[in-house]
A and B are shown apart, each in its own frame.
Chain A
Amino acid sequence: MTAEADPMSHDDNVIAQMDQISKDIANKSPLVSEPEPVENLKSEYTQNHGFLAKIEHLTKSYSKIRRVRGDGNCFYRAYAYTLFDACKRDAALRDRVFKKLDTTLAWLVQLGMPSFTTEDFHDTFVETLKNHCDSGTYDSLMETFNNDGMSNYLVVYVRLLTSGQLQQDSDEYLPFVEGLYKDMKEFCDKEVMPVDREADHLQIKALTECLSFPLKLVYVDRSEGGPTELVIPDGSSPDVSLLYRPGHYDILYD
């Protein structure tokens, strides 16, 4: 006889189901796709006039969309991809970003991240970015971002940076989550660092501030009127735009 205590736990079933959904998504779409015309989005919303009108608006300002896999990492992956791409083209940005990155390992360890793993993610991120800026091509960038292991390594480092910024500036960020989490560290442990956890406004603001690489978010949802545009941080002049549809981010091009 055994204690009647051990049903195949509910959690395990949920996890197995989530894994299957992730696999289905993975089989359908690359981590980072080739750009396609924004018009293509219309076919997803033939029954939805609110959305259709907004996409019509969108096509006036943007010509292409680069889809990013909806696996919970889409914001971080899209952001890292646009950062790599922009650093290659913009020497001033590149210098600024490398200067910042050089300080981040010691900074994160000081904030309490485990040095052994953080160093690994840091070194991989810096080295990959350096390689891309020195001798990368469009094709090698696409290869890097579509290689599961490598792409996810890069995502983990931007999650660490996000987490560091939120904890460093917790006075500024904590009021937004007060009552839900006991401190910023708990928020980061639950909402930033777990693999595949989606990013929200707080994470986006923290990451853009950390790397001083701003972005424009273009919101498309069911509400009335044209798409809403939001520049993060306030008052910056970003060169990159991400499309936000509820629960998902893709990259937009003029």
Chain B
Amino acid sequence: MAETAGVHVELVDNSFLKLRGEIKGPPDTPFDGGKYILDITIPETYPFNPPKVTFRTKIWHPNISSVTGAICLDILKDQWAAAMTLRTVLLSLQSLLSSAEPDDPQDAVVAKQYKDDFTCYKRTAKHWAVVYAQASACQNKEDVEALALFDKNIQQLMQMGFSEQDSRVALSSKNWNVEAAVECLFS
């Protein structure tokens, strides 16, 4: 598939059953400029059953599991149509990044943050996007400062002996409150 509209797919081996997709994070979202790799498995019953798609690149988004990369999207489930193409799927995922559906979440923690503290959600999503997807940094001064503080918080937990990844997940889940994150890591 040619790379247009920032989506792309290639073979992983020569079986045609395992593919690797790539989508660019859409503009005006925390994912802007990020590069998201997707694992695509084509079932034997394709195209009468949907491809199985998961995010290989870690992402903080209400409809994508921050742990497994599993996706909650109707066309990958009961709204799949045999006439759809992988391009349709990738474009739909790209548009999912632009318009989250927090009321139909895959990751309940992220969805709750999205609804309760949207600014914190956006900054956390941006932090993950910069770290895992090489997304562009923020421009806004307040955001830049907030993200710098996130990095400091992670360093702080790492000095206590937690891994970077565990620290990031705990802090992200607890709105970057260090005490709450530590409590969560010890529990």
Contact = CB atoms under 8 A, between A and B. Distances in A.
A114 B75 CA distance: 15
Contacts of A57: none
B108 interface: yes
A160 B65 CA distance: 33
B65 A194 contact: no
Interface stretch (B66-74, B95-103, B136-144): B66-74
B106 A9 contact: yes
Given A1-B170, A11-B72, A189 B81 contact: yes
A48 interface: no
5 A-B pairs closest in CB distance: A193-B81, A5-B107, A5-B109, A156-B82, A117-B83
Contacts of B65: 5-6
B94 interface: no
Contacts of B106: 5-6, 9
Interface of B: 47-49, 65-68, 70, 72, 77-85, 87-88, 106-110, 166, 169-170, 172-173, 184-185, 187
Interface string A151-172: 0100010011000000000000
12 contacts: A1-B170, A1-B184, A2-B169, A3-B172, A114-B85, A156-B47, A159-B81, A160-B83, A193-B82, A194-B80, A195-B49, A195-B81
Interface of A: 1-6, 9, 11, 15, 113-114, 116-118, 121, 152, 156, 159-160, 189-190, 193-195
Main secondary structure of the interface of B (DSSP, over half): loop
A239 to B, nearest CB: 29
Contacts, number: 81
Contacts of B80: 194-195
A6 B81 contact: no
Nearest to A188: B81
Contact of A1 (B49, B107, B169): B169
A3 B67 contact: yes
B82 A195 contact: yes
Nearest to B184: A1
Nearest to B85: A114
A252 B93 CA distance: 44
Contact of A121 (B77, B83, B108): B83
A6 to B, nearest CB: 5
A6 B82 contact: no
A152 B85 contact: no
A187 B187 CA distance: 48
A160 B83 CA distance: 8
